[in-house]
Amino acid sequence: MQVNRRKFGALLCVLLATAAVAGTAVASHTSKTPGVSKHQIVIGGTFPYSGPAALYKTIPSAELAYYAYVNAKGGVFHRKIKDLTLNDEYNPAETVPAVKKLVEQKHVFAIVGSLGTAPGLATWKYLNQRHVPQVLLATGDAYWGKCVHRACPGAGSTSPKPWTMGWQPDYPGEARLYAKYILKHKPNAKIGVLYQDDAYGKNYLNGLKSGLGSHKSQIVDAQSYSVTDSGPVVGSHVVHIAGSGADVFVIFATPSAAIAALVTEGQIPNWHPLTFNNNVSANRIFMQLAASKGANPNGVISTTYIESQTAQPNLAGMKLAKKIIHKYAPALDDQFASGDNNLVYGLAVGWTFVDALRHAGKHPTRKSLMHALRTMTEKNNPFIYPGMSVKTSKKDTFPMEQLIFEKWGGGAGGDWKTFGKVLNSGH
């Protein structure tokens, strides 16, 4: 009899738990437009707060600070923005349940700013099927701007994705600019490439090849590495590239690997190639970290599209950024001062979102938000590089398509200095 009683007790617990869960499910009502209420707009996003890409976590921190700033001034049409950021550790297996939670349990208005190509690839179909905006993604994969209104099965995009949009200049465009630079300044170069072996890295490599055109055979060594590889393993690839006789070294790597590559490069005797570092890893603090461990950063070339608080501190946008960070994310003051421009990136994205939200009207719907985002002409974003703009139209699905070159000078305590004109990296 004891056995039965215990089992009935357990059954009771199960029933109670079920009731509780059902109760909370019923309690959360869905308004007509999910996430929009009289005084609030709820959005969400997935970011790597821990794991291999954790150094990007300052991006959502900056976005949250920007929304706090906007909310303090009354919000958008009297609605305060609430941003639910979840940690997916750059792992698509965690992104999917997190996104499901945001959409099905938290009923967010839109998914804004999520970081990562692979996480995005795992969720865009789900979000497009449910007509949930998946916008201002923090990844430059060209995938987000291609086959948007119409599917193109040949390119692997089996359905259209009108609800998905990127923001930053795309990777192939950036790589094409590097190719043009090499052909112009070092036409007989032997090129060595280190790239991450996923969609992000391959996107960059293919862009470089297409930019080189008939000269792509000048790539004498292309080494891939995995995002989970440790520093020394990445280093051994660099040793290989050095051994191939390359005199141009192109790094298409996420920060930890890029830093390891630069450090190893600095240690190989008698090898001083012209080095390019992709802009996702060109953050000032990364370069300084690499230099402090033995890299030689002088002369490394990259590109940028946002302002730098250390190289251009007197621009109005940078002064505003300093104020916002100081007031709404004071724990990041030091980080800001040492030049972490992920913070500026986050502020810039927040600005674009709020701008689009305003254009979505007094009673925004998901559709009106997408319409606003797809017809943007944003020339006065204070955080992006002077002279650049964020533009979209029905035909133009890439919001930012401009870059400017920069070169590092000043050694371990130095900084980037832009040179040349604002260039078009578009299609």
- Chain positions 223 to 242 lying near other proteins, rule: CB under 8 A, are 223-233, 235-237, 239-240
Burial of 21 (0-12, 13-18, 19+ CB in 10 A): exposed
Q: What stretch of H or E contains 318?
A: helix 316-328
Backbone angles phi, psi at 419, to 5 degrees: -145, 155
Q: Which stretch binds other proteins (CB under 8 A): 253-261, 362-370, 371-379, 394-402?
A: 253-261
Residue pair 223/241 in contact (Cβ under 8 Å)? The answer is: yes
- Among residue numbers 288 through 307, which ones bind other proteins (CB under 8 A)? 289-290, 292-294
Under rule CB under 8 A, residue 54 binds other proteins: yes
Q: List, in order, residues 6 or more apart from 393 with CB less than 8 Å away.
A: 374, 375
When binding is defined by CB under 8 A, the residue of 16, 77, 78, 93 that contacts other proteins is 93
Specify the residue, 190 or 293, whose C-beta has the smaller distance to other proteins.
293
Specify the residue, 119 or 399, whose C-beta has the smaller distance to other proteins.
119
When binding is defined by CB under 8 A, the residue of 40, 49, 215, 220 that contacts other proteins is 49
Token pair 């839109």 is at which residue? 110
13 vs 236: CA distance, rounded Å: 57
Specify the residue, 50 or 424, whose C-beta has the smaller distance to other proteins.
50
Give the other-Cβ count within 10 Å of 212's Cβ: 21
- Among residue numbers 205 through 224, which ones bind other proteins (CB under 8 A)? 223-224
Residue pair 182/191 in contact (Cβ under 8 Å)? The answer is: yes
When binding is defined by CB under 8 A, the residue of 34, 75, 92, 172 that contacts other proteins is 92
CA dihedral in degrees (357, 360, 364, 369; nearest 10)? -80
For the record, the structure tokens of 389 come out as 């703009």
To other proteins, the closest distance from the beta carbon of 32 in angstroms equals: 18
Q: Which stretch binds other proteins (CB under 8 A): 169-177, 254-262, 347-355, 398-406?
A: 254-262
Under rule CB under 8 A, residue 55 binds other proteins: yes
When binding is defined by CB under 8 A, the residue of 81, 91, 108, 194 that contacts other proteins is 91
For the record, the structure tokens of 271 come out as 């090898």
Q: Which stretch binds other proteins (CB under 8 A): 68-76, 160-168, 255-263, 308-316?
A: 255-263
Specify the residue, 43 or 289, whose C-beta has the smaller distance to other proteins.
289
- Among residue numbers 119 through 138, which ones bind other proteins (CB under 8 A)? 121-123, 125-126, 129
For 155-210, the DSSP string reads GTB-S--TTB---SPPHHHHHHHHHHHHHHH-TT--EEEEEESSHHHHHHHHHHHH
Specify the residue, 25 or 214, whose C-beta has the smaller distance to other proteins.
25
